[in-house]
Amino acid sequence: MKRFLIFFILTFTLVVAIAACNPSANNTTGDIVVASKDFTAQDILGELLAQHIEATTNLKVTRRPRLGGSFVCHNAILAGKIDAYIEYTGTAFTGILKQKTVNDPKVVYEKLKQIYAEKFNLEVMPSLGFEDTFAMVIRGEDAKKYNIQTLSQAAQYTPQWRGGFGYEFLEREDGFPGLAKTYNLRFSKPPQIMDLGLIYRALIQKQVDMVAGNSSDGQIARLGLAVLKDDKQYFPPYEATPIVRQATLNKYPELKSAIAQLSGKISADEMRQLNYLVEGELRDIKEVVREFLKSKGLISRKGKAVRWAAPPT
C-alpha cells in the first residue's frame, strides 16, 4: 500500500510537471524549451545550455528549471513539451532503457545514441566533458573514527546506520537494490525516501548516516563529508550529455553546432567549483554561468558570442 501511494503521488507529480512545462501555461515563451532536473548541478547545466544557445544563435530559450527527475524529463521530451535537457549516460542506459550495467563509457554512449535515435527520435550529443556518478556519502568524522574508505568497509557498519536516498535511487536498475546486493548493505531499518535538496542537511544533523549524492556536489567538501569508494565498480559511467529532440534540430539546424561547441568544455573539478559558487557562496546561477562561459572563450567580455566551427564528433 505504501509503495502504491508513493507511485500514485509520483505519477500525479509527473502529469502536473509535464502540464506545467506547456509553453501556453507561461507568458514568456521562446523558440525552444530547455529543462533541467531537480538539483543544483542541473540548475547550472540547464542555464549554461540556455545561455550558450542564446549567445551563439538567434534563438530564444524558455527555461524549465527543477522540472523533476530523469523519468519526468524523459517523458516531457517525448511528449514534445521540452526540447532539450542534460542527462547522464548511465542513468539513461540503465534507468530509462532498462539495460544491464556496462562499465565501458564508449560502449554505453554508442548504444545509447543508437537506441535513442531509433526508438525515441532523440539525439544524444557528445559529452560535456565530465562524469557525475553517484556518490555514497557519510560524515567525515565517521570515516575517520572507523577508518572507512570503501563501500566494502562500510558494509560492516550499516546494520547500525540509517540510510537516506532519493526515490529514483531506491527504485532504478542501477540504484540501491543492486548496490545493496553487491555490497551486502543492510541498514537498521528501511532507507528513508528523501528530497535530494535535504540529504546533506539530514546527514550533518545525524538524522541519517549514509546518503546517495552526486560526485560533483560542492557541499561534500564544504561540509567535510566523505565519499566512499565504489571498490567493486558497481556504478556504470555517468557522462553528462545533452539530449535533444531530432525534430527541433531539423527545425533549427544551427542548434546542433551551437550545442556541440560545449563538448568537452567542463571538467569534474570545474563542475564541483560551479556547484560550490552557487551552494557555498550563494552566487546567482545566471552570473556564475556567464562568467564560466567567458572564461572558456565562448562569450566575449562584452557579452557577444564567439562563433566557431563545431568540434569534430
Average confidence score pLDDT of the chain: 89
Pairwise CA distance, residues 84 & 59, whole Å: 14
Residue 48 DSSP code: H
Q: Which residue has the higher pLDDT, 67 or 173?
A: 67
Give the range with max mean pLDDT: 117-126, 213-222, 296-305. 117-126
The x, y and z cell numbers of residue 275, run together, are 556547484
Query: pLDDT at position 4, please?
Result: 43
Q: How confident is the model at residue 304 (pLDDT cuts 50, 70, 90)?
A: low
Is the pLDDT reported for residue 229 higher than 60?
yes
Q: What percent of the chain has pLDDT over 90?
A: 77
Q: Which residue has the higher pLDDT, 25 or 257?
A: 257
Residue 301 buriedness (CB in 10 A; 0-12 / 13-18 / 19+): exposed
Task: Report yes or no on whether pTM surpasses 0.85.
Answer: no
Q: How confident is the model at residue 290 (pLDDT cuts 50, 70, 90)?
A: very high
Query: pLDDT at position 208, please?
Result: 98
Query: pLDDT at position 101, please?
Result: 87
Q: How confident is the model at residue 25 (pLDDT cuts 50, 70, 90)?
A: very low
Pairwise CA distance, residues 29 & 82, whole Å: 12
Q: Give, in order, the Cα–Cα distances in Å from 272 to each of 23, 137, 177, 269, 304.
A: 32, 15, 28, 5, 26
Q: pLDDT digits over 154-210, tens only?
A: 999 999 999 999 998 998 878 999 999 999 999 999 999 998 889 999 999 999 999
State the number of CA atoms in the 13 A half-sphere of 169 facing the CB.
23
SS3 assignment, position 84: strand
Termini Cα distance of the chain:
48
Pairwise CA distance, residues 76 & 82, whole Å: 6
Is the pLDDT reported for residue 280 higher than 60?
yes
* Chain-centre distance for alpha carbon 90: 11
